[in-house]
Amino acid sequence: MDSKDILLVDKPAGWTSFDVCAKIRGKIRRDYIEKGEKPTKRQLRVGHAGTLDPFATGLLIVLLGDECKKADDFLKQDKVYEATFTLGTTSTTGDPEGDLVAASEHQPGLDEIKSVLQQFTGKITQTPPAYSAVKVNGQRAYRLARDGKKVEIPSREVTVYSIDLVSYDYPNLKLVAHVSSGTYIRSLAEDIGSALGTGAYCSELRRTAIGKWSIDQVSTWLQ
């Protein structure tokens, strides 16, 4: 890491990115109090660069103090994910937290899987999930969706540099995807499921790299 004000954290499942920041902020406060000092607002400033969904695990970059001002620089980095797509079922949120609905009994063969994955390599157009942090008319899309309001998010062009097939044992398709900033793996799961004619949702997700930073470099702040 290039700065003592950058922490690399392995986010646990069930935690929000905000939860991670809150825990680290609490530890910073306690450390100062134990030294008999009162921390300043700047010293308690904690932010993250690149949200991870609660069900997901893996690399979260946490910024401290003045480093928070550079969050946009980190958001633009490419990312690597390990993911499991569950075929034959769809989810209202694209992940295990939504309502799951059986969509198809079709069990595609390995050759069909490989052919479809090739279609999603390179520059592709995708629509972010309704349950996402994308802003729609100044409001977070997920808040509108939770209120039962119709959410229309413009599609965007993203780049999928590679999708490596790790294993396939129907209904579970395990992949490693190297993608550009702005790519939603949940949307990728849904689009691949649609192309296969099976439907799909992202049942497991782990981020292992952001730009030059790797999950192997994480700190022990959450332990």
Active site residues: 53
The answer to whether the Cα torsion of 128, 22, 214, 2 is positive or negative is: positive
Q: What is the enclosing helix (H) or strand (E) of 35?
A: none
Ramachandran sector of residue 50 (left: φ over 0; alpha: ψ -120 to 50; beta: rest) = left
Contacts of 107 (CB under 8 A, 6+ apart): 87, 88, 170, 171, 198
The answer to whether 11 and 20 have CB atoms below 8 angstroms apart is: yes
% helix / strand / coil in the chain, to the nearest 5? Answer: 25, 35, 40
Interatomic CA distance for residues 190 and 200, integer angstroms: 5
212 SS3 class: coil
The answer to whether 17 and 59 have CB atoms below 8 angstroms apart is: no
Rounded to 5°, the CA angle 17-58-124 comes to 90
